[in-house]
Amino acid sequence: MPAGVRGLLDKGPLLSACDVMLDLIFYLESLPPPGGDVRAREALFSPGGASVNFAVAASRLGQPSAVVGKVARDAAGLTILDFLGREGVDT
């Protein structure tokens, strides 16, 4: 890593203020034909959004990071908070 970048990271934790998303990802065997349908073989939820992805990537590289954003206290919000906690991202 270039010394200038390392110097920026040494200045303290990264703070990411953002809209927090919960992506719904479908895995398909093929794309549907125009006007047609296709069944998904799998579907999953994954926390995301550019700032969340950035904070998680920074944390995985050893940079302390945190996310500031709104999440509900429902199943989706708790899924996001659990994910960020497991990734070492403060909330």
77, with CB counted inside 10 A (0-12, 13-18, 19+), is middle
List for the chain the helix, strand, coil content (%; round to 5). 35, 30, 35
Q: How far apart are the first and last CA of the chain?
A: 27
pLDDT higher than 70, residue 45: yes
Q: How confident is the model at residue 2 (pLDDT cuts 50, 70, 90)?
A: low
Mean pLDDT of 70-86: 95
Mean pLDDT of 83-87: 97
Radius of gyration of the chain (CA): 17
Mean pLDDT of 47-69: 94
Question: What domains can you pick out in the chain, each with its CATH number?
Answer: 14-30+37-90 (3.40.1190.30)
Residue with tokens 């990734």: 87
CA distances from 7 to 4, 41, 58, 63, 71 (A): 5, 46, 14, 12, 32
Whole-model pTM over 0.85: no
